[in-house]
């Protein structure tokens, strides 16, 4: 093995390659399905009622379809770069420097009626302003909530994960192409987080 040059950094680990995954959450399905479900009947009703000219109805339908298509093209994604985590949702984009992240963990999402865990999601908690001095954490619950809201933010990765029970269960039928793609994306997310020191593969 050749010796490192004199000006080599002490930590000479290779920088993980940049990775970007396009995903779609259950909420994303609903947000995108809503216009598809309501644009055609609304346009038809307006045309039948002679509220607006037929040409205008066609224009609305074409423009609405184009807008939804463009939104689908920019569907939620997760990006892993050398210096930041990039999370894009249907409603915005966040670029979180790795140095600002303070915790990465699974959060359980429960059914509002049965309180049963439906799926899990990865929540990233990070500093609002990494350059701003962080005061000591308060001990009182009310003060802690205010302190946490003032100095921290959180973002959920737009990809659901199964519960530990579902992970250990044996499938009763072969996985579909969509299921295999989803599982592969889940594995890549966990792998990329592990490369950066956040190992969630054994998190239960």
Query: Are 145 and 183 found together in one domain?
Result: yes
Confidence of residue 9 (pLDDT cuts 50, 70, 90): very low
State which residues form the domain around 68: 23-73
Query: Are 125 and 175 found together in one domain?
Result: yes
Put the strands of the sheet holding 19-22 in their side by side order. 19-22, 77-80, 84-89, 92-97
**28 found inside a domain:** yes
**202 found inside a domain:** no
From the number of C-beta atoms within 10 Å of its C-beta (0-12, 13-18, 19+), residue 137 rates as: exposed
Block residue for tokens 């609305």: 60
Q: 95-149: per-residue pLDDT in tens? A: 999 999 999 999 998 887 888 888 899 999 999 998 888 888 888 888 888 998 9
Query: Are 108 and 190 found together in one domain?
Result: yes
Buried b (16+ CB within 10 A) or exposed e, 185-198: ebeebbebbebeeb
Query: Are 170 and 116 found together in one domain?
Result: yes
**13 found inside a domain:** no
Query: Are 191 and 114 found together in one domain?
Result: yes
**37 found inside a domain:** yes
Distance CA 128, CA 136 (A): 16
If DSSP codes are grouped into helix, strand and coil, which group holds residue 94? Answer: strand
**80 found inside a domain:** no
Q: 171-184: per-residue pLDDT in tens? A: 767 777 778 888 88
**84 found inside a domain:** no
Query: Are 179 and 119 found together in one domain?
Result: yes
Distance CA 52, CA 178 (A): 41
Distance CA 86, CA 194 (A): 16
Out of 26-30, 62-66, 67-71, 135-139, least confident range: 26-30
Closest alpha carbon to 196 in 106, 99, 127: 99
Query: Are 54 and 134 found together in one domain?
Result: no
Residue 46 CB coordination number (10 Å): 16
Query: Are 130 and 183 found together in one domain?
Result: yes
**87 found inside a domain:** no
Number of domains in the chain: 2
């Amino acid at each position: 093995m050749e010796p490192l040059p004199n000006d080599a950094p002490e930590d000479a680990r290779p920088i993980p390659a940049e990775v970007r995954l396009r995903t779609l959450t259950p909420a994303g399905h609903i947000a995108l399905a809503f216009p598809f479900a309501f644009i055609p009947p609304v346009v038809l009703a307006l045309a039948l009622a002679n509220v607006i000219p037929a040409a205008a109805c066609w224009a609305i339908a074409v423009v609405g379809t184009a807008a939804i298509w463009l939104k689908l093209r920019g569907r939620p994604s997760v990006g892993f770069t050398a210096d930041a985590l990039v999370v894009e949702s249907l409603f915005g984009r966040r670029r979180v420097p790795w140095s600002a992240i303070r915790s990465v963990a699974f959060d359980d999402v429960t059914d509002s009626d049965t309180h049963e865990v439906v799926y899990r999601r990865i929540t990233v908690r990070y500093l609002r302003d990494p350059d701003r001095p962080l005061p000591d954490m308060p001990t009182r619950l009310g003060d802690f909530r205010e302190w946490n809201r003032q100095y921290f933010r959180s973002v959920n990765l737009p990809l659901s994960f199964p519960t530990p029970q579902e992970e250990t269960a044996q499938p009763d039928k072969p996985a579909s192409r969509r299921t295999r793609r989803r599982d592969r994306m889940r594995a890549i997310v966990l792998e990329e987080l592990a490369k950066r020191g956040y190992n969630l593969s054994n998190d239960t």
